[in-house]
Amino acid sequence: KTRLAIKVDIAVIGAGQAGLSSAYHLQRLGLQPGKDFVVLDEAPQPGGAWQYRWPSLTLNTVNRVHDLPGLGFAEFAGGDGTVKASVAVPHYFAAYEEHFGLRVLRPARVSVVCDRGDRLRVESDRAVFSARGLINATGTWENPYIPEYPGAATFQGQQLHTRDYRTAEVFAGKHVLVVGGGISAIQLLDQISQVTRTTWVTRTPPRWREGPFTEEAGRKAVAMVEERVRAGLPPMAVVSVTGLPVTPAIEAMRQRGALERKPMFAEILPHGVRWPDGTELEVDVILWCTGFRSALDHLAPLQLREDSGGITMIGRLATQVARDARVHLVGYGPSASTIGANRAGGAAARELTTFLGLARSPGA
């Protein structure tokens, strides 16, 4: 049976950095939360995907959490950086939602968005909405990526992804194979190699970056990803462009021999892996630190993708979908960082309200 849809102008899906920034700007543009626009989030509490991060990820070990517009993070961050990101950021987002009265509906998981002519039907497990425009800010946490290797189903040990990781101690006494060349792979390898035997494999040799990460390098990295999505190509990880910072922790890993990287294996065996030259290694655990992809399955009926698998993006900060101008993706591609998501939320709110003829407040 068809459920009755609640009419709104704009539906925002996701209440992480990207969704909250979008909501803030929609409100500034004169739209009323809970009436003209609605924010839906499937997580049980405020905090976006930060609420799920492993406990040892502290404000000292994250790259940086950028402020949301209108209320700074500093007073929620504690003094010395040892506070868990999974505590501080949810605390900040909760206060933010409350301060601006953003009225996030949660837990509300959006299963599907369908085209209904001049409206979009947004189906969630809490209610169905009929919206004229959509800001999708669902991040990547819900869509972990694990590459396919022959024999994976035969492996008798344990296979996990970054998102399953809690603490290194559970691996004590086991041989852990860490797969992946990004920052998460290295951070988890660091922790696990301090309590048990590890082997590290990456597809390509890691690209180390000596010296600080300059603003210019950041801009270049973002511009490269932006160029890709404007051309309709799938975005790529920003680290592949920026290189990995050589921190004191990494120097220490190098010195104790935990950073000796091997190339990717060709095949998974019941008790280990085998390389193309026939070398075999027994392992108990394969930890796939192989990243995430944008969580966009609920948008499948809108057919936003090109044959290349990418989505062609347009607009000032490349948040608008070329194939359907009513849809903005925030926190996707070049805006997949806290600072990028923040800016993109503003651009998406302005462009979408203009497109739909909704902007009311000249002060926004």
Q: Interface residues with ligand FAD (CB under 6 A)? A: 13-19, 40-43, 48-49, 53, 62-65, 109-110, 137-139, 141-142, 184, 295, 298, 331, 336-339, 341
Q: State which residue, 89 or 359, has the beta carbon closest to ligand FAD.
A: 89
Q: State which residue, 184 or 319, has the beta carbon closest to ligand FAD.
A: 184
Cβ atoms of residues 253 and 245 within 8 Å: no
* CB-count burial class (<10 Å; 0-12, 13-18, 19+) for 215: exposed
* Interatomic CA distance for residues 364 and 345, integer angstroms: 13
Report which of 207, 206, 182, 143 is spatially closest to residue 287, judged by C-alpha positions: 182
Q: State which residue, 272 or 346, has the beta carbon closest to ligand FAD.
A: 346
For residue 44, the minimal CB distance to ligand FAD (Å) is 9
For residue 113, the minimal CB distance to ligand FAD (Å) is 9
For residue 86, the minimal CB distance to ligand FAD (Å) is 10
For residue 357, the minimal CB distance to ligand FAD (Å) is 27
Q: State which residue, 262 or 293, has the beta carbon closest to ligand FAD.
A: 293
Q: State which residue, 123 or 267, has the beta carbon closest to ligand FAD.
A: 123
Q: State which residue, 14 or 272, has the beta carbon closest to ligand FAD.
A: 14
Query: Could you tell me which residues are beta bridge partners of residue 285?
Result: 158, 176
Q: State which residue, 25 or 359, has the beta carbon closest to ligand FAD.
A: 25
Cβ atoms of residues 330 and 340 within 8 Å: no
For residue 186, the minimal CB distance to ligand FAD (Å) is 12
Mapped onto helix, strand or coil, the DSSP state of residue 84 is strand
What is the DSSP pairing of strand 197-202 with strand 280-282?
unpaired
Q: State which residue, 41 or 351, has the beta carbon closest to ligand FAD.
A: 41
Cβ atoms of residues 343 and 222 within 8 Å: no
For residue 276, the minimal CB distance to ligand FAD (Å) is 30
For residue 34, the minimal CB distance to ligand FAD (Å) is 16
What are the residues whose beta carbons fall under 8 Å from the beta carbon of 187, sequence distance 6 or more? 57, 61
**Helices and strands (H and E) in the chain: how many:** 7, 18
* Interatomic CA distance for residues 236 and 293, integer angstroms: 9
For residue 138, the minimal CB distance to ligand FAD (Å) is 4
Q: State which residue, 63 or 279, has the beta carbon closest to ligand FAD.
A: 63
Report which of 251, 275, 255, 279 is spatially closest to residue 264, judged by C-alpha positions: 275
> Token digits for 71?
């209320």
> Token digits for 87?
């505590």
For residue 282, the minimal CB distance to ligand FAD (Å) is 29
Angle between helix 183-193 and 248-255 (nearest 10)? 50
* Interatomic CA distance for residues 48 and 164, integer angstroms: 16
Residue reference for tokens 């209108």: 70
> Token digits for 137?
């800010």
